């Protein structure tokens, strides 16, 4: 198992290329199950979750391979089972459920695993698919789904759910008739999935709004599609510029999709400017406290909560973070406190009082975004920080230590 050793206290300066989005790539890869023609994906990030997805697609009967941020997928004779050994490491693997039911009318998918940041139940996925004609049983930790052919339905989500919206969107493109998804997730990654499906011949309207309409088609054609840039990786590097007192130019940085994050960082004192060559983030000599409440898009993303909390630790005054999406997403707090942060938790709210400095310490990563927050804190801290259990980090950030070292960081990877 690897760990990162970070020598902190160096302002970062230079240019970083933003990778393709993991959260967009995963559902778009699973959407390949829907096609009976070859396709090519480009700008695919080189991440553990991506390679796990490719393994799963091969197990399900597709021929799928990765090389140089490019994935080529050829359809085959599909099998219905997504085994536990692959699914247990990645919650997104449940996204094969809708495509399998749409293509072959059956699916046997292990209940998903992944980061321990909340229950994230799949009940919204199953309720929607049942309205489309599927039936389900739970057997020995597997979701067993069957249908003759999915049919269009009017589905209203109890709450916006990214995974549920994606699963039902994929299922609906081959369903008989029209499907309407109400209270749908509006995240850019959902829009990217819809745009990919449209490029394959799907008929979709309203993606990016809370009401999506899909008219089913008999088949989809092959295409070549570039995955959108990763707004969470970009947001993490924006924070890195501020927390180290540096200046970073982010190439291929999604700007509009980061409006809520950029607005909050600007209110904390960062200068952020969109330029033809990328997005420039610059520290201006002082950081101010701010209040954040995580919300579904276009609100402040829960996937940036841990990172901006690391920045708040060094901001003047007090800040407040309210986590309204996941009930268990403050596990990074105790590790930040080990580094000298002043944070107190009450229910789903964290109160952060800024300190003059953080100090390096051995810390333990509990999930993907918590890992990023500890790396950020280590970059700013005086002394040496050891971030352990970074396999979480490798699920969502492509060679983060290489990108950061190229702009002045001092990070090395070692075996624990």
The dihedral through the CA atoms of 184, 190, 191, 196 has a sign that is negative
List the Cα angle 203/205/210 in 5-degree steps.
140
Q: Is 123 annotated as a binding residue?
A: yes
Contact 48, 395 (CB under 8 A): yes
Tokens of 309: 């909390």
Residue 91 among known ligand-binding residues: yes
Active-site pick, 62, 64, 96, 115? 115
Which secondary structure element, helix H or strand E, spans residue 155, and what is its range? strand 154-156
The C-alpha R_g of the chain, in whole angstroms, comes to 21
Judge whether 121 is annotated as a binding position: yes
* 276 labelled ligand-binding: no
Token duo for residue 344:
């107190």
In angstroms, what CA-CA distances link 51 with 112, 140, 413?
16, 26, 21
352 is in an annotated binding site: no
Is 70 marked as binding a ligand?
no
- 107 strand-pairing partners: 145
d(CA 274, CA 106) in angstroms, rounded, equals: 47
Asked whether 260 and 286 are in contact (CB, 8 A), the reply is no
Q: Are 49 and 91 in contact (CB under 8 A)?
A: no
64 tagged catalytic: no
Contact 40, 72 (CB under 8 A): yes
Q: Is 120 annotated as a binding residue?
A: yes
Burial degree of 352 (CB within 10 A; 0-12, 13-18, 19+):
buried
117 is in an annotated binding site: no
Tokens of 232: 């969470």
305 is in an annotated binding site: no
Return the structure tokens found at 369.
Answer: 């975004």
Structure tokens at 210: 């809370």
User: Is residue 186 a known part of a binding site?
Assistant: no
Binding site feature residues for UDP-N-acetyl-alpha-D-glucosamine: 91, 120-124, 303, 325
Binding site feature residues for phosphoenolpyruvate: 22-23
Binding site feature residues: 22-23, 91, 120-124, 303, 325
Active-site residue numbers?
Answer: 115
């Amino acid at each position: 198992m690897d760990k990162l050793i970070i020598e902190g206290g160096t302002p970062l300066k230079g240019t970083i290329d933003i990778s393709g989005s993991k959260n967009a790539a995963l559902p778009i890869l699973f959407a390949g199950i829907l096609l009976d023609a070859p396709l090519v994906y480009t700008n695919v990030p080189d991440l553990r979750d991506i390679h796990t997805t490719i393994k799963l697609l091969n197990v399900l009967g597709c021929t799928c391979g990765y090389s140089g941020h490019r994935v080529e997928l050829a359809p085959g004779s599909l099998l219905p089972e997504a085994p536990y050994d692959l699914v247990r490491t990645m919650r997104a693997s449940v996204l094969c459920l809708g495509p399998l039911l749409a293509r072959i009318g059956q699916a046997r998918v292990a209940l998903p695993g992944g980061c321990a940041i909340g229950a994230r139940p799949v009940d919204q996925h199953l309720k929607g698919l049942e309205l489309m004609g599927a039936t389900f049983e739970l057997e020995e930790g597997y979701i067993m789904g069957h249908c003759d052919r999915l049919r269009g339905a009017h589905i209203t989500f109890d709450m916006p759910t990214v995974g549920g919206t994606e699963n039902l969107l994929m299922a609906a493109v081959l369903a008989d008739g029209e499907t309407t998804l109400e209270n749908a997730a509006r995240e850019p990654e959902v829009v990217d999935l819809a745009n990919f499906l449209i490029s394959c011949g799907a008929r979709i309207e309203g993606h990016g709004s809370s009401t999506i309409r899909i008219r089913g088609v008999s088949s989809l054609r092959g295409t070549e599609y570039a995955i959108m840039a990763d707004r969470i990786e970009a947001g993490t590097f924006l924070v890195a510029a501020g927390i180290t007192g540096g200046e970073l130019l982010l190439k291929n940085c999604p700007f509009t999709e980061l409006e809520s994050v950029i607005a909050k960082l600007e209110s904390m004192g960062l200068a952020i400017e969109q330029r033809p060559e990328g997005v420039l983030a610059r520290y201006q000599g002082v950081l101010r406290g701010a209040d954040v409440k995580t919300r579904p898009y276009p609100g402040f993303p829960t996937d940036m909560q841990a990172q901006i909390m690391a920045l708040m630790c060094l901001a003047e005054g007090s800040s407040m973070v309210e986590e309204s999406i996941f009930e268990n997403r403050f596990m990074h707090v105790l590790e930040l406190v080990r580094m000298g942060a002043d944070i107190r938790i009450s229910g789903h709210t964290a109160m952060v009082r800024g300190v003059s400095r953080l100090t390096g310490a051995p810390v333990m990563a509990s999930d993907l975004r918590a890992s990023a927050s500890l790396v950020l804190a280590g970059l700013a801290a005086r002394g040496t920080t050891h971030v352990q259990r970074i396999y979480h980090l490798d699920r969502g950030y492509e060679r983060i230590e290489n990108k950061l070292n190229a702009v002045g960081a001092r990070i090395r990877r070692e075996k624990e």
